[in-house]
Amino acid sequence: MTHQHVCVLGSTGSIGENTLDVIARHPETISIYALSAHSRIERLAEQAQATRAKVVIVPTEAARAQFEHAWTVAQPRPEIRVGAQALADTAADAAVTTVMAAIVGAAGLPSALAAAKAGKRVLLANKEALVAAGGLFMRAVRDNGAELLPIDSEHNAIFQCLPHTHDRAKAPTQPAKGVRRLLLTASGGPFRTTALHLLPGVTPDQACAHPNWSMGRKISVDSATMLNKGLEVIEAHWLFAMPVNRIQVVIHPQSMVHSMVEYEDGSILAQLGQPDMRTPIAYGLGFPERIDSGVGLLALTALGRLDFEEPNLERFPCLKLSFDALKTSQAACVALNAANEIAVDCFLKQQIRYTEIACIIEDSLNRITGMPTPGLDSLDEVLALDAHTRSIAAELCLLKG
Ligand code: NAD
Ligand code: MG
């Protein structure tokens, strides 16, 4: 394996921390070049000290001052870069071989796209980038000789189960030969069996208490509503060039089967493992080799059984909204994601109820899909529609709140 110099975008988040954990196990082959954080700047300083990062990226001049203040050791301080443009520039930096795109939300799109355009190995955790700009992103990977390794556990599982062609990290333009369907597993989240009449009263902490995975708060709420699975259906469509009618969602409460590929001959290949993001992260870093992730064995006999069930769309209206958005248009996918980001943020701040998240998304989608929208073949057009939908969704949240 040639030595990798990694830029971790969103290093203080759940994926970011797991990425640093895996990289620390491979000092002879992987080093950290840059780290970024939007908040928790003291934690960023600790990470930069431990990893000897050359560069850090912070959002504002105030955060730069905070970082300088937090740097109390004799070790030379990394170069501090400031602002959103610095994220994209560092992702494209000639010193970087590999970019972990682990910023949450559409805010991560410009830097992930910059990494693809610069022909890097892109480890993509930020699913919102593909939901908002799948076509644009996949074209950037193909046209610039980048490598795309999906980190989202389901897509990583599917990637592992697909035929091992030499160009599989190069953004395919058609479904892999012999594949009938992709089967995305979903845990069903913390409210899989909660009585429907109790859902309007659930709290942010209850929604974030995922039964199997420890994740950031936004994706935890998305997992509870299953909007996360909806985003993943759209993500799978783009990553694997798969038509929407050949992607199926299956509830699997144990979260040990991370997803499956069904072949024309009736075979189903599955990838299993502990629900620990260090496995897909290590796969992306090591590809095409396998490297240590620090994840323990999956004790199948202790587990005893694996269950599978059909998702109930009455319980999970966000899943239906996502399938509909993918069938409607790219504009609908941009709007779905943007409205969700606003609605989840308002829910986390206790300004709207849990069950209102789906209403805000649906009403925003109705407003957007009724309007003429641009072709969305540039980043600027995508970001403009994203911003416009956010203002609509924010207004709708105010009316509910
Ligand atoms: P998190 O909230 O724990 O971390 C987010 C990171 O992004 C932090 O470092 C934060 O400082 C930074 N950030 C937040 N807003 C930003 C902004 N506007 N500009 C720049 N940086 C910003 O999130 P997470 O759970 O690590 O998820 C990160 C991404 O990975 C998300 O897109 C999520 O959907 C995806 N993902 C996460 C998991 C998981 O297990 N956590 C699994 C699959 C996919
Ligand atoms: Mg996932």
Residue to substitute in 9, 67, 219, 220 for testing ligand 1 pocket (most ligand atoms within 8 angstroms of CB): 219
How far apart are the CA of 211 and the centre of ligand 2, in A?
14
- Count CB-CB contacts under 10 A for residue 52: 12
The confidence score (pLDDT) of residue 276 equals 97
> Measuring from each residue's beta carbon to the nearest atom of ligand 1, which residues come in under 6 Å?
10-16, 37-39, 102-104, 107, 125-128, 152, 213, 215-216, 218-219, 277
- Domain membership flag for residue 59: yes
Which atom of ligand 1 lies at the shortest distance from residue 10's CA? 9
At 179 the pLDDT is: 98
Q: Does some domain include residue 158? A: no
What mean pLDDT is predicted for residues 76-84? 98
DSSP lists the bridge partners of residue 262 as: 181, 268
Average of per-residue pLDDT values in the chain: 97
Helix (H) or strand (E) holding 389: helix 379-400
- The rounded distance, in Å, linking the Cα atoms of 236 and 105 is 17
* pLDDT reading at 26 higher than 90: yes
Flag whether 256 is in a domain: no
Asked if 15 contacts 281 with a C-beta cutoff of 8 angstroms, the reply is yes
Q: Which of 321, 335, 334, 317 is nearest to 393 (CA)?
A: 335
Please compute the mean of the pLDDT values over residues 50-68 and round it to a whole number: 98
Which of 7, 14, 340 to mutate for ligand 1's pocket (most ligand atoms within 8 Å of CB)? Answer: 14
What is the band of 145 on the pLDDT scale with cuts at 50, 70, 90?
A: very high
Q: What is the mean pLDDT of residues 314-336?
A: 97
pLDDT band at 172 (very low <50, low <70, confident <90, very high): very high
* Alpha-carbon gap, residue 204 to 220, rounded angstroms: 10
What is the helix, strand, coil percentage profile of the chain, to 5? 50, 15, 35
In a domain, 264, yes or no: no
Residue 372: per-residue pLDDT: 80
For residue 277, report the distance from its CA to the centre of ligand 2, in Å.
9
Q: What is the mean pLDDT of residues 38-45?
A: 98
- Alpha carbons 172 and 236: distance in angstroms, whole number: 12
Domain containing 88: what range? 4-150
Please state, in angstroms and rounded to a whole number, the distance separating the CA atoms of residues 160 and 301: 23
Q: How far is CA 47 from the centre of its chain?
A: 22
What is the atom index within ligand 1 of the atom nearest the CA of 231? 34
DSSP 3-state of 79: strand
The pLDDT of 8-34, averaged and rounded, is 98
Cα–Cα–Cα angle for 223, 228, 230, nearest 5°? 135
Compute the distance from residue 324 Cα to the ligand 1 centre, in Å.
26
Q: Give tens-digit pLDDT for 237-257.
A: 999 999 999 999 999 999 999
What digits encode the pLDDT tens for the residues 174-217? 999 999 999 999 999 999 999 999 999 999 999 999 888 889 99
Q: How many CA atoms lie within 13 A of 305 on its CB side?
A: 3
Per-residue pLDDT reduced to its tens digit, 351-374: 999 999 999 999 999 999 888 877
Measuring CA to CA, which residue among 240, 257, 209, 261 is closest to residue 130? Answer: 240
Tell me whether residue 262 is in a domain: no
Dmax (CA) for the chain in angstroms is 62
H or E segment and range at residue 251:
strand 247-251
Q: Which amino acid is at 100?
A: M
Residues in CB range of 304: below 8 A, 6 or more apart: none
The answer as to whether 63 is a domain residue is yes
Examine the pLDDT at 46 and tell me if it is beyond 90. Answer: yes
Quick check: 1 pLDDT over 80?
no
Residue type (1 letter), 70: A
10 Å Cβ neighbour count for 225? 28
Angle between helices 127-143 and 379-400 (to 10 degrees): 180
- CATH number of the domain residue 82 falls in: 3.40.50.720
374-393 tens-digit pLDDT: 789 899 999 999 999 999 99
Q: What SS3 class is residue 271?
A: strand
Ligand 1 pocket test, pick from 8, 14, 104, 109 with the greatest ligand atom count within 8 Å of Cβ, gives: 104
Task: Confirm whether 113 is domain-assigned.
Answer: yes
Which CA distances in Å does 124 have to 57, 127, 303? 19, 7, 30
What's the total number of domains in the chain? Answer: 1
Which long-range contacts does 286-295 make (Cβ < 8 Å, 24+ apart)?
286/1, 287/147, 287/149, 287/169, 289/1, 291/22, 291/25, 291/26, 292/25, 292/26, 293/22, 293/25, 294/21, 294/22, 294/25
Q: Is residue 395 part of a domain?
A: no
Cα–Cα nearest to 143, from 188, 173, 106, 105: 173
